[in-house]
Amino acid sequence: MAESLITSITNGLSNIPSEIIIFVISMLPILELRGGLIAASILKVDFIYAFPICLIGNLLPLPFILLFIDKIFEFLKKTPLKKFVEHFEKKAIAKSESVKKYRKWGLFTFVAVPLPGTGGWTGALIASALRMNLKDSMIPISLGVLTAGIIMSILSYAIPSLF
């Protein structure tokens, strides 16, 4: 699914430099660094450039999410997006159960495992739901994104190069 979505995005943006495409994809919720690395591989962006671009793209929105998501959600609940916001809050709270017990290690592990719905955005929403401060949440989330990036690099670059 992610690969077909990425292919659609990259085909529609063929006149934009690949590096910008992978940076933007890495900033998006759901796709994040994982999607950015897949897109980079599809677009034949050299790994040496792709990895830091995708990493920075994924990490850039996270402090803003951690600092402002409560206020943004509070505002959006007064709009027609109320049900959408409440849905995201419920998902974050449900996923936070696995993080509550181990706090920083739980947050790191949650973000580091490259499965759908376990990236930096969701990690930041969980940290916010658990009322973790910026310092206590940003470090494990960042390390989790880095770890997921290493795993995805192996899957997107190393394994395909063997065939």
Q: What is the pLDDT of residues 131-156, one digit of tens each?
A: 899 989 999 999 999 999 999 999 88
In 3D space, the residue among 43, 42, 41, 23 whose CA is nearest the CA of residue 33 turns out to be 23
**Domain-by-domain residue ranges, the chain?**
2-59+150-161, 62-148
Least confident of 23-27, 81-85, 113-117: 113-117
pLDDT at position 96, please? 81
Question: From CA 97, how far away is CA 99, in angstroms rounded?
Answer: 5
Q: Name the residue among 22, 2, 25, 21 with its Cα closest to residue 13.
A: 21
| pTM for this entry | 0.83
- Decide if pLDDT at 97 tops 90: no
Name the burial class of residue 48, with classes exposed (0-12), middle (13-18) and buried (19+) by CB atoms within 10 angstroms of its CB: exposed
